[in-house]
Amino acid sequence: MKRHHAFVIICFISLFLSGCMVGPKYVKPTAPMAPGFKEQPPESFKESDGWKTAQPRDQALRGNWWEIFGDPQLNALEEEVTLSNQDLKVAEARFRQARAMIRFNRSAEFPTISTSPSIANERLSPNQPYFPQSVSANATGSFTLPFDLSYEVDLWGRVRRTVSASREEAQATAADVQTANLSLHAELAVDYFELRSADDQKQLLDDTVKAYADALQLTENRFEGGAAPRSDVAQAKTQLDGAQVQDTDITVIRAQFEHAIATLIGKPPAEFNITPAPKTALLLPVIPVGVPASLLERRPDIAAGERRVAEANDQIGIARAAFFPSLVLGATGGFTGTSITNWFNWPSRMWAVGPQMSQTIFDAGRRRAVSEGATANYDGTVASYRQTALTAFQEVEDNLAALRILEKEAQQQREATVSAEESLQLFTNRYEGGVDNYLQVITAQTVLLTNQRNDIDIQRRRMDASVLLVKAVGGGWDTSQLPRL
């Protein structure tokens, strides 16, 4: 009989300590690699033909990935983003908040103990009904020191799933911090290369204005010598004025990018300045992109989406736990006396202990609605996760294609620029020799300037695409860096 009682007690305690878990077991959703999300992912990206495949020894995107561009000033600015960017501070604060919620929800796994001592003196009214008149004028004192304990037994896993959901949300928020960090650093790199491109454009236009001024002087000399009509002077003046307008306009673009960089590093634009540095030697790095399957582990936004799918799965379990009864263990103990002299005497002790079970019988479909809403939310987070993955694949393919095509375009553009330079020289010589009119020179000047500006613009686009490719493949981050909370 004693063994039987011991067995029952052990089973009862085990039930209280462990309980069971209602709701679906989490299974990581499949990514949209192929139709039906069941096939093996492709071995390489569509646009990576001839591109470098990442090897285990490749460390190009580890840590401060922007250092692969070999620009000391860019490196210094990127470090300031890490220290001073306000959007990044917001993301980090939200992570700390989410981490605190883990501790808040985890506290439900332990009993709550409280006390509310009180001292009161009360006199009962002699006129209250059914009160014995012989003692109606008596007054009594009450000195109470209670300790209350309350503990909800996690029979159906509601508390454990709540803790798990808060942990997954904190991990998702940590991935959000990395997404913000990657995006802000990439934005600064793009703005920096845009600014340097504006420096190159400004230098080109300064040189062009000087060349057009020399050409105007040539036409004026020829006009004064009777070798050219007045219209040549007017055309050369118009060409010079147009170049000066472009030269002035490019300063607006540069100023805007300089202000954007100042904001990214947490400084007022009025207190920040970047010295113009045309013809900066920019390194166009080769970026290892890996294979499509690895992208799911290297993108922090994909990791955040997957963690929120797991959180939504826990929310289904929490909603389903509401269909089952809840069990709360309560206990009260302490001392109650009539005066300060007998308050803490042993006979003044009092206690009460016992379980309380509650079950909702009718709620007009409220719990079912919550459960259906949790399921719908799960379906939505799965779709969002897959859409994020699709967008990531697109971004990698887009920038791989851009870099591959722009490399060929840069070679073609350089050849076009060389041809335009030769044409301008030929037409200028023919004009000076009186063979051609000045319209041919103006046309050649316009064509050369357009091609020279295209040269600079293509280089800018290649640098931007390199930064965006680094961002698209996660900047060296992977899911192993998620905090274990």
- Cα 5 from chain centroid (whole Å): 57
Q: Which helix (H) or strand (E) holds 256?
A: helix 230-264
Identify the burial level of 381 via C-beta atoms within 10 angstroms of its C-beta, where 0-12 means exposed, 13-18 middle and 19 or more buried. Answer: buried
Tokens of 144: 């109470």
Looking at residue 8, what is its pLDDT?
46
Length of the chain: 485
Q: What's at 452, amino acid-wise?
A: Q
One of 2.60.120.10, 1.10.3720.10, 2.40.50.140, 1.20.1600.10 is the CATH number of 17-84+156-311+383-481, namely: 1.20.1600.10
Q: What's at 408, amino acid-wise?
A: K
Tokens of 152: 């909800």
Q: How far apart are CA 445 and CA 39, in angstroms?
A: 57
CA distances, 476 to each of 4, 43, 125, 479 (Å): 60, 20, 79, 10
Cβ(254)–Cβ(199) below 8 Å: yes
Alpha-carbon radius of gyration of the chain: 38
Alpha-helical regions (H) of 140-229: 158-224
pLDDT tens, residue by residue, 223-274: 988 888 999 999 999 999 999 999 999 999 999 999 999 999 999 999 999 9
Q: pLDDT tens digits, the chain, 485 residues: what are they?
A: 454 444 445 445 545 555 578 889 999 888 776 444 555 556 667 766 655 544 444 445 667 899 999 999 999 999 999 999 999 999 999 999 999 999 999 998 889 999 888 887 766 666 555 545 555 455 566 888 899 999 988 889 899 999 999 999 999 999 999 999 999 999 999 999 999 999 999 999 999 999 999 999 999 999 988 888 999 999 999 999 999 999 999 999 999 999 999 999 999 999 999 999 988 877 888 888 877 778 888 999 999 999 999 999 999 999 999 999 999 999 999 999 888 888 888 988 899 988 989 999 999 999 999 999 999 999 999 999 999 999 999 999 999 999 999 999 999 999 999 999 999 999 999 998 888 899 999 999 999 999 999 999 999 999 999 999 999 999 988 888 899 98
Looking at residue 140, what is its pLDDT?
64
Looking at residue 285, what is its pLDDT?
86
DSSP string, 45-114: -TT-TTPPPP-TT--TTSSSGGGGG--HHHHHHHHHHHHH-HHHHHHHHHHHHHHHHHHHHHGGGS-EEE
**Facing residues of 148 across strands?**
114, 332
Q: How far apart are CA 51 and CA 388, in angstroms?
A: 24
Q: How far apart are CA 304 and CA 319, in angstroms?
A: 23
How open is the CA angle 112-118-121, to the nearest 5 degrees? 155
Phi, psi of 352 (to 5 degrees): -155, 140
Tokens of 48: 């990576």
The domain limits of the chain are 17-84+156-311+383-481
Confidence (pTM): 0.85
Contacts of 453 (CB under 8 A, 6+ apart): 201, 204
Identify the burial level of 12 via C-beta atoms within 10 angstroms of its C-beta, where 0-12 means exposed, 13-18 middle and 19 or more buried. Answer: exposed
Phi, psi of 336 (to 5 degrees): -135, 125
Tokens of 237: 């003046």
Tokens of 105: 């929800």
